[in-house]
Amino acid sequence: MTTIHVHALENEAYAVEIASALLREGMVVAIPTETVYGLAAIITNDDAIRRIFLAKGRPSDNPLIVHVATMADVASIAMVSALAQRLMDAFFPGALTLVLPKLSHVSDLVTAGLNTVAVRMPDLALTRAIIAAAGAPVAAPSANRSGRPSPTMAEHVIDDLDGAIAAVIDAGSCRDGLESTVVRIVDEQLFLLRPGNVRRDDIERAVGVRVRDVPATADLRHSPGTRYRHYAPAAQVVLVRSMEEAARMRDASHDRVLLLAPSDLAIGIPWRPLSSASLYAELRRADTLHVKKIIVHCDEQVQANEALMNRLQKAAEPSTEN
């Protein structure tokens, strides 16, 4: 299959037309969102959904997020409680995914057989226009091959999936660069399954309900993503809190070292800026350059960013195959 590369910034209407036509035919299309690029297929076509798992090499028991264009779309696939409605009013469209009880017609392929469905309304107007023109919500995991960082540029999608998908709609770099916040609602209580740029305290302030962590004893089926090995770069990632610690790490290493930090610590090794928006691009770049060790300076501002710290800690975990 030849993957079509569509430059959406040059002609948005054309991008919407071609993406939605391919989706209606049951093809898989990589689409931009404000968080990361997603690998989209229409939820009313099981063959199309199967093509997502095939292209990504994703285990079929890891459910997908359904992306909608309108509030009415949410009610067409899930039960919307009073608290869910308040969260939607406050954060949709945006980088918040809600895990809600699903309606029975939603395909088990999308939800991996769970009785819940994850729903998100992207903030990027182009994404919503594509979904609306496709005529049905689309399931879309991040558009990377399993085991790679989420793509934040069309080039990342092409590196991972060229030839395996029908098209990539290129709208440049994603605004956020980290995947959405995922929250599950159970009996009008909120559980954080994945931190993202919609922060815990934003949610608590908006709806006046505490956002809890998933208890360690909880049935993991409620947060399936946590069972899978997360991306870690080929390089060893070490998190440090001070310039002194960074310098010690530099001295202990004889290999190719890179410093990722909010600002240059000027400790005599190559530096790249650290931010949520650019983290995944920097990790992909370090792999390409065969960097052996990435020293990440987590200053107080970075430490206060739950989503960024979560992804950094995952990247720093030794990668155990499973």
Task: Tell me which residue has tokens 């931190």.
Answer: 195
65 or 235: whose CB is closer to Mg ion?
Answer: 65
Q: Is 63 in the site for ligand TXA (CB under 6 A)?
A: yes
CB 28 to Mg ion: min, Å: 15
- C-beta separation of 170 from 5 below 8 A: yes
Q: Which of 180, 197, 276, 305 is in the footprint of ligand TXA by CB under 6 A?
A: 180
- C-beta separation of 41 from 49 below 8 A: yes
Torsions phi, psi for 311 (to 5 deg): -70, -35
C-alpha span between 270 and 261 (Å, rounded): 11
CB 47 to Mg ion: min, Å: 22
Which is nearest to 284 in space by CA: 142, 165, 180, 122?
A: 142
Q: Which does 147 bind (CB under 5 to 8 A by kind): ligand TXA, Mg ion, none?
A: none
Q: Is 197 in the site for Mg ion (CB under 5 A)?
A: no
DSSP assignments along 30-77, one per residue: EE--SSS-EEEEETT-HHHHHHHHHHHT--TTS--EEE-SSHHHHHTT
Q: Which does 57 bind (CB under 5 to 8 A by kind): Mg ion, ligand TXA, none?
A: none
Q: Which of 116, 127, 142, 197 is in the footprint of Mg ion by CB under 5 A?
A: 142
- C-beta separation of 49 from 138 below 8 A: no
Q: Is 269 in the site for ligand TXA (CB under 6 A)?
A: no
Q: Is 223 in the site for ligand TXA (CB under 6 A)?
A: yes
Q: Is 192 in the site for ligand TXA (CB under 6 A)?
A: no
Q: Which does 123 bind (CB under 5 to 8 A by kind): Mg ion, ligand TXA, none?
A: none
The total number of residues shown for the chain amounts to 322
Q: Is 55 in the site for ligand TXA (CB under 6 A)?
A: no
Residues that bind ligand TXA (CB under 6 A): 33, 35-36, 38, 62-65, 97, 99, 111, 114, 116-118, 120, 140-142, 179-180, 182, 193-194, 223-225
